[in-house]
Amino acid sequence: MWSKRKVMMAAAVAAGVAVLSAAGLWAAEKAKPAPPQTPRLAYGKPKKLVDLADRRIDESSGLACGRRNKDVFWTHNDSGGRARVYAINRKGQTLAALDIASTIALDWEDMCSAKIGTKCLLLLADTGNNGCIPRPYRLYAVAEPQLDTSKRNVKGKLRCGQVIEFEYDGGWFDCESVAVDATTRRIYLVTKPRMAGQKVKVYELPWPNRAGRKAKPLKAIATLKIPNTTAMDISPDGLRAVVLTYGNAYEYARGPDETWAQGFARQPRVIPMPRRSQGESICYGPDGKTLYLTSEDLPTPLWEVAPKGAK
């Protein structure tokens, strides 16, 4: 039989446990990211627009929406190809095939476009590293040229305006996903795990003001719990980021006053993607909402995934 003192002590302990449990629950709820202010989009079913006519585009590993040219997309081949970008239209026709001077395509894995100020830029990511071995990581920034969209198969060269070199803090990683937030002038890279113990991580790189200046080793700002990543893009307003895998895509959102570290800490929206062979490219279209993607095997399809509306 318990004494009155023991009963009082047990009650006090129980009350303390209850307080601690409530405090722990409150802390967990406080730590959980709040829903973003940016409305999430509901996407419709994928629609195949066309197969690309140009069989030189046989490993479309990156895709970017033209910011200077209406209804134009830019793409490039995977490792082993030339340092070249192709301009295509929605009909699958090649408008131009342009070599990038003073660059090498060691392992180009992704590209993106951004309008920063008055400049429309293409950013090419020479960041592939399947063996996770020491190698130079470079991003090539090129001014998007104005095209005559009535012409086909134009050949020429583009000047590389800036080479951005970087390395990661803590090792060597494969990366097939790059995007630019034009509103903050920051570049984001998502790694693809290749070795035991590696995780899908997001790295942030402020756009260097001076050409040729090597960036400090990049530190991860987030870890994503999704399958291996193959491409990404950020909407022109800087509020949505889509990350592609060999299966579906995952869309993250941040509020206007939030950082991408906060945005990537949330659970993403899963966007069903079409079944395709080796899908390694995705981008937002001119509206900043509709998604477009290709794949690496011939015939190379151009797919469209349009939103049904915000909710």
Domains observed in the chain: 39-310 (2.120.10)
Report the share of the chain in percent with pLDDT over 70. 86
On the question of pLDDT at 25 being above 90, the answer is no
pLDDT at 27: 41
Model confidence at 170: pLDDT above 70: yes
Between strands 154-166 and 94-101, the pairing is: parallel
Provide the 10 A C-beta neighbour count for residue 197: 5
Q: What is the pLDDT of residue 33?
A: 65
Q: What are phi and psi of 165, to 5 degrees?
A: -100, 145
CA distance 139 to 160: 10
| Residue ranges in the chain assigned as alpha helix (H) | 4-31, 260-263
CB 143 within 8 A of CB 158: yes
The C-alpha atoms of residue 77 and residue 94 are separated, in whole angstroms, by 14
Task: Report the distance separating Cα 198 and Cα 46, nearest Å.
Answer: 32
Cα–Cα distance measured from residue 124 to residue 145, given in angstroms and rounded to the nearest whole number: 15
Structure token pair of residue 273: 């993607």
pLDDT of residue 285: 97
pLDDT of residue 29: 41
Tokens representing residue 253 in the block: 């959102």
Give the model's pLDDT for residue 32. Answer: 59
Spatial separation of the C-alpha atoms in residues 42 and 269, rounded to whole Å:
9
Averaged pLDDT, 151-173: 95
